[in-house]
Amino acid sequence: MTSADFVALLPLLILAASPLFVMLAIMVRRGPASPAISFASLAAAFASLWIAAGVAPRPVTPILIIDRYALFYIGIIVAVTAGCVLLSWGYFRNHAEHPDELYVLLLIAALGSAVLASSSHFASFFLGLEILSVSLYGLIAYERDIEPSIEAGVKYLVLAASSASFLLFGMALVYFELGTMSFAQIANASGPLVTIGFVLILVGVGFKLALVPFHMWTPDIYQGAPAPVAAFVATVSKTAVFAVLLRYYMSAAAGRAPFVILSAIAIASMLAGNLLALRQDNVKRILAYSSIAHLGYILVALLAGGSMGDRAVTFYLIAYSFTTLGAFAVVAVVSRIEREADHVENYRGLFWRHPIVSGILTIMMLSLSGLPVTAGFIAKFYLVAAGADQNLWLLITILIVGSAIGLFYYLRVVVAMYSPAPTQETPLAPHFAERIVLAALALIVIWLGIYPAPVLNAIAQVF
């Protein structure tokens, strides 16, 4: 390896070193130093993206490639992880359990996500995925005194191990047939074993993205995990896996992807996610089922392909990540030590207790619905445009129908917030870190809905 390779890997190196610094800080003294060091490390990793861009594109060993695509997605991952760190700082401030080790796990999970975004080989794909997954086991079950948290952690452990077995077996079949696991070298591969291998890999990825019919773990994990961790699972982990899926699709599967299979998965995800969300009274479960639908929406642009489809996928992931993080941020703020604010009734009359927080959640719900003046509207507009460009009218119709269904359950939460409060409750007092996150996310979601041109121009330079 040369010095230029280390420059290209600088964001990954910072993310790899940051958990060590946090662990050293924990040895000296537990307290606010851990989130502060974590946030500073993430800020340094984000700043280093411009340094790494100076030598990009650059393959670093046969399994990683640092290019504009990888750096852009690493930027999304780092930014959203920083938001989760600030949320955790406020969320756990009054908990008896010291949350210091949680920041170590968050940083390691961010490292695994960054490796996924840089992968150009099945080996690095699996390595990054396992770094991410193993960290999530501990994050989901971090509140060890709360039974739903432990249950969610065990469920994720079992299902993640199952999906990993599908991935490994699929990769083994591809390697047995072709003698390589590089994305670029399997572009024109064919044969029965290769086909079976690709199907098994698709099953494993479907588990990680919670696409139908591999989605049943999602609501239980979101409900049992602490709100900041659920936000991380819903945003960073999905973005990272979709980043490597999109790179693989562009480099190795263009023109011969299983279009019918992916179309069926997209339709099932859009319909099942929205219809199942209608039956929920738990806000976390509503967000869980809606995330299934949103991943189905993204598949429409993935199937459209081309530069327009790739750009639509990326912009939608940005809009979805920041909007979902904002929704979970409000859940974290409203939650208390004695109860998680995961029921719709917990938000009844929220406007009368804290109008700003309720206004921010309203913005997030409207954005998830895809209404104008929000990031969600622009994101869905580009999805529809990408699908129409390739005449995917059936998928577009299901997308529109699903969005109409989603509007109902999102507005249920909004209506509850502005209804009269059933009892007099203590006014909210968000932590300063939570205030920073809420304000920043509200501005980002509105800015992307009014003036998305800078982000769209940046995405255009990636593809």
Using one digit for the tens of pLDDT, what is the confidence trace for 30-54? 777 888 999 999 999 999 999 999 9
> What whole-number distance in Å separates Cα of residue 186 and Cα of residue 171?
12
Alpha helices (H) along 29-67: 33-53
DSSP for residue 235: I
Q: What's the confidence (pLDDT) of residue 5?
A: 86
Task: Tell me the three state secondary structure of residue 182.
Answer: strand
Check whether 290 has a pLDDT greater than 50: yes
Q: What's the confidence (pLDDT) of residue 142?
A: 86
Pairing between β-strand 64-66 and β-strand 58-60 as defined by DSSP bridges: antiparallel
Two tokens, residue 53: 């861009």
Nearest to 107 by CA among 128, 133, 81: 81
Q: What is the pLDDT of residues 20-30, one digit of tens each?
A: 999 998 888 87
DSSP run (H or E) holding 66: strand 64-66
CA 332 to chain centre: 17
Under the banding of pLDDT at 50, 70 and 90, the label for residue 185 is confident
- Region 281-285 average pLDDT: 91
Q: What's the confidence (pLDDT) of residue 147?
A: 80
Under the banding of pLDDT at 50, 70 and 90, the label for residue 420 is confident
Check whether 317 has a pLDDT greater than 80: yes
Residue type at position 31? G
Under the banding of pLDDT at 50, 70 and 90, the label for residue 256 is very low
For CA atoms 414, 418, 423, 429, give the dihedral sign: positive
List all residues 6 or more positions away from 239 whose beta carbon is below 8 Å from its beta carbon. 73, 76, 77, 80, 113, 317, 321
Q: What's the confidence (pLDDT) of residue 335?
A: 80
Q: What are phi and psi of 182, to 5 degrees?
A: -80, 135
Q: What's the confidence (pLDDT) of residue 255?
A: 45
Q: Would you say 68 and 56 are in contact if contact means Cβ atoms under 8 Å apart?
A: yes
Check whether 270 has a pLDDT greater than 60: yes
Q: Would you say 238 and 290 are in contact if contact means Cβ atoms under 8 Å apart?
A: no
Check whether 95 has a pLDDT greater than 70: no
> What whole-number distance in Å separates Cα of residue 11 and Cα of residue 45?
5
Q: Residue 420: which region, alpha, beta or left (left: phi > 0; alpha: psi -120 to 50)?
A: beta
The CA angle 453-39-247, to the nearest 5 degrees, is 50
- Region 301-306 average pLDDT: 86
Under the banding of pLDDT at 50, 70 and 90, the label for residue 423 is low
Residue type at position 273? G
| Cross-strand bridge partners of residue 64 | 60, 119
Mean per-residue pLDDT over the chain, rounded: 88
> What whole-number distance in Å separates Cα of residue 60 and Cα of residue 414?
48
Q: What's the confidence (pLDDT) of residue 192?
A: 83
Two tokens, residue 326: 């904002």
DSSP run (H or E) holding 417: helix 393-417
- Region 321-344 average pLDDT: 84
Check whether 151 has a pLDDT greater than 70: yes
| Cross-strand bridge partners of residue 151 | none
> What whole-number distance in Å separates Cα of residue 130 and Cα of residue 126?
6
| Cross-strand bridge partners of residue 59 | 65
DSSP for residue 343: B
Q: Would you say 274 and 212 are in contact if contact means Cβ atoms under 8 Å apart?
A: no
Nearest to 168 by CA among 153, 186, 181, 149: 181
Residue type at position 184? A
Q: What's the confidence (pLDDT) of residue 236?
A: 94
Under the banding of pLDDT at 50, 70 and 90, the label for residue 186 is confident
CA 116 to chain centre: 13
End-to-end CA distance of the chain: 27
